[in-house]
Amino acid sequence: MKYPIETIRHSCAHVMAAAIRELWPSAKFGVGPDIETGFYYDVLFPEPIKIEDLSKIESKMRKIRKKNKKFIKEYMSIDDAKKFMNENNQDFKIDLLNLLSEKGTTTVAKETGDQNSVDLSDGLEEVSFFKVEEFTDLCRGPHVGFTKEIGSFKLHKLAGAYWRGDERKPQLQRIYGLCFETEEEVKAELERLEQVKLRDHRKIGKELGIYHVSEEVGTGLPLWLPNGTIVREELELLAKEEEKKYGYQRVVTPHITNEKLYYQSGHLPYYKDDMYPPIEIEKNNYYLRPMNCPHHHHIYLSRPRSYREVPVRLAEYGQVYRYEDSGALSGLMRTRGFCQNDAHIYCTYSQAKQEFINVMDMHARYYKMFDIQEFYMRFSLPDLEKLDKYVDEPKKWIDASKIIRSAMDESGYPYKEVEGEAAFYGPKVDFMIKSVIGTEQAISTNQLDFLASERFSLHYTGEDGKDHPVYVIHRAPLGSHERFIAFLIEHYNGKLPIWLSPVQALIIPISDRHIEYANRIKDDFVSSKVANASLGLRMDIDSTNERMQKKIRSATLRRIPIIIIVGENEMESETISLRLRDGRNINEINKEEFKKDLINSVENRNDTLFYESKLFV
């Protein structure tokens, strides 16, 4: 029988748990869902295991697979299930059963991240179990029929995970496994993961001098070094130019805000756990802002608005601060302070669909520019049966969802729908992008907000002279500087496009007597007028007393796109020689023609214009 890969992976996780139970009989189990490339299981061991122990677990799994044991489904009442788990000393499973009794299957799935944890069978007070070998686990399933059908697997990573994501609860060890139908697929994924490790932005970011994290400043609060600041400024300049074409107006808002604003917006009741504690100033509480939208609403409110001027589009690269558990922090990908490519569009109901399409088109243009071939939208809807976590306005939810769905359908861009993940004030669309090695990131969130107009009295005066509410679109196509730059570093393996590279060309004089000529070239190039570049052409000179090959090696490690070599011949003929990042060496070319091609490439943000120049053919 042919099983879905998700079923195979979840069954493989179950077999891993059975193997662990044999090796560590007193181990306590959390949850073990399938994930995109395999599965994981959270386990509390008597003593923490090491990475070397994974091979021991793997060996036991293979023995269980070889026995070809059947997966047997059983049911118990919740009370009997609690008794069974208590007899087996499985505290976390008892916690799941208690949560199930109180809040139901959906909440268990959301709070644990495991859709397969538990199920109320046919609405009765019973839960399902699956047994394989001598191991019985609380589980919804489904599973394959026999253990020989669990595919090919490889355990490859250990991590820490707080139970139910709560740092106040015990920390378990999370064992990650790969699982595919064939051994060849497992090997291919292992090779991809090796590439992911080599491209890790934390490693390359340090090598390229992009950012630094200081414990004295605070974890999760990156310091941008000069090279990283250049990349930030170039991206911000790009965003400003694109937004100008679409009629955005730029604004600036403060980093702290009186708590009254967040009660007005609803963030304090719904979002408080993600905010930092308040700062008391003159008997008033102020918060570090976790987002910019309430500030933009008050800019919209700074004067009356007519139907003639909507849509109003307000843009800001706004610094925000959100609390993250220290265990969740990861370089630039997940931080406690970040700067968003934020904007809010205030429009009429009839304008909302086209404005949302325009936002999606802006995303697509950026992705094409950065050679991001794969992306899709994750359309997050509320669970309208659980309105305690969302604004209780079912009709408005339905209307807003229709607008977004219609816009996505018309755009032609791929999307998928998920329930229960909307923002508290409206449905949202997360743009998911994949790097060239298949690493997927949620890079930006876009929302259609029907609540803000009511809470903030956001209106425009219509042709009839009456006030009408606006719809608010929250959008951030480039996400945050932090996450997007981390993604680009890994996507390009540190070899950023010429226009984005902190140093676009390094000049290497062959000997000391060529340094003066090298400086003349640098001065000429960096003083040249370049549109669409915050600092013009960016060049450096390596005049150190090192061997030529060592200088070239150093420039290569710094991922500098172009190496300009000048020696006696070049100085006499007023030319330059090049070593390009694609490995080509071009001798004694006209430096003015080269400069013209380089400027053209930078101004158009297109490396192809440079690398396919007639100078190099």
- Mean pLDDT for 359-368 is 94
Q: How confident is the model at residue 437 (pLDDT cuts 50, 70, 90)?
A: confident
Question: Higher confidence at residue 267 or residue 556?
Answer: 556
Among 2.60.120.920, 3.40.50.800, 3.40.50.10680, 3.40.960.10, name the CATH number for the domain at 498-616.
3.40.50.800
Cα–Cα distances (Å) from 536 to 370, 382, 565, in that order, read 20, 47, 21
CATH 3.40.50.800 maps onto the chain at: 498-616
Q: How many residues does the chain have?
A: 617
CATH 3.30.980.10 maps onto the chain at: 5-188
Which tokens is 157 given? 């990573």
In this predicted model, what pLDDT tens digit does every residue of 480-509 receive, in sequence order? 999 999 999 999 999 999 999 999 999 999
Mention the CATH class of domain 5-188: alpha beta
Q: For 21-35, 122-136, 162-176, which range has the lowest pLDDT when averaged over its residues? A: 122-136
- In a 3-state reduction of DSSP, which class is residue 524? helix
Which tokens is 70 given? 């059947």
Buried b (16+ CB within 10 A) or exposed e, 210-236: bbebeeeeeebebebbebbbbbbebbb
In this predicted model, what pLDDT tens digit does every residue of 190-229 receive, in sequence order? 999 999 999 999 999 999 999 999 999 999 999 999 999 9
d(CA 231, CA 500): 6
Q: How confident is the model at residue 452 (pLDDT cuts 50, 70, 90)?
A: confident
Q: For 108-117, 451-460, 474-483, 567-576, which range has the lowest pLDDT when averaged over its residues? A: 108-117
Half-sphere exposure for 285 (CA within 13 Å, toward CB): 12
**What residues are labeled active site?**
293, 322, 340, 342, 344, 428, 474
Q: What angle do CA 417, 423, 426 make, to 5 degrees?
A: 80
CB neighbourhood size of 560 (10 A): 25
CB of 121 within 8 A of CB of 138?
A: no
Cis peptide before 382 (omega within 30 of 0): no
d(CA 554, CA 361): 40
d(CA 72, CA 387): 37
Which tokens is 601 given? 């490439």
Residue 349 predicted with pLDDT over 80: yes
Q: What is the pTM of this model?
A: 0.86
Q: Does domain 204-490 have CATH number 3.30.1360.40?
A: no
- Under DSSP, the state recorded for 121 is G
Give the containing element (helix H, strand E) for 246. Answer: none
CB of 550 within 8 A of CB of 566?
A: no
For 455, counting Cβ atoms within 10 Å of its Cβ (0-12 exposed, 13-18 middle, 19+ buried), the class is: middle
d(CA 170, CA 349): 48
CB of 159 within 8 A of CB of 170?
A: no
CB neighbourhood size of 579 (10 A): 19
DSSP letters, 164-180, are: GG-TTSPEEEEEEEEEE
Residue 23 predicted with pLDDT over 90: yes
d(CA 285, CA 144): 56
Residue 362 is which amino acid? M
Q: How confident is the model at residue 427 (pLDDT cuts 50, 70, 90)?
A: confident
Q: How confident is the model at residue 272 (pLDDT cuts 50, 70, 90)?
A: confident
Which tokens is 518 given? 């090298």
Which tokens is 33 given? 């869902």
% pLDDT > 70, the chain: 93
The pLDDT value given to residue 265 = 87
- Under DSSP, the state recorded for 116 is T
- Mean pLDDT for 155-172 is 90
Please give the radius of gyration of the chain, using alpha carbons only, rounded to the nearest integer. Answer: 29
The pLDDT value given to residue 307 = 95
Residue 1 predicted with pLDDT over 80: no
The pLDDT value given to residue 381 = 74
* Beta-strand runs (E) in 134-248: 135-138, 152-162, 171-180, 211-212, 223-224
Residue 135 predicted with pLDDT over 70: yes
Closest CA to 18 of 180, 133, 115: 133
Helical ranges in 313-455 per DSSP H = 352-369, 394-411, 452-455
The pLDDT value given to residue 536 = 83
Please identify which residue in the block is written with the tokens 């890994």.
490
In this predicted model, what pLDDT tens digit does every residue of 502-552 receive, in sequence order? 999 999 999 999 999 999 999 999 999 988 777 789 999 999 989 999 999
The pLDDT value given to residue 534 = 75
The pLDDT value given to residue 122 = 44
Residue 605, C-beta contacts closer than 8 angstroms, at least 6 positions apart: 238, 369, 497, 499, 500, 532
d(CA 448, CA 404): 8
d(CA 56, CA 22): 11
Q: How confident is the model at residue 582 (pLDDT cuts 50, 70, 90)?
A: confident
Which tokens is 288 given? 């570090």
Residue 466, C-beta contacts closer than 8 angstroms, at least 6 positions apart: none
Q: How confident is the model at residue 399 (pLDDT cuts 50, 70, 90)?
A: confident
Residue 389 predicted with pLDDT over 60: no
Which tokens is 278 given? 């308040």
Which tokens is 53 given? 């122990």
* Beta-strand runs (E) in 470-536: 471-475, 505-509
Average confidence score pLDDT of the chain: 90
CATH 3.30.930.10 maps onto the chain at: 204-490
Residue 445 predicted with pLDDT over 90: no
Question: Higher confidence at residue 64 or residue 426?
Answer: 64
In this predicted model, what pLDDT tens digit does every residue of 101-115 receive, in sequence order? 775 555 555 555 555
Give the containing element (helix H, strand E) for 535. Answer: none
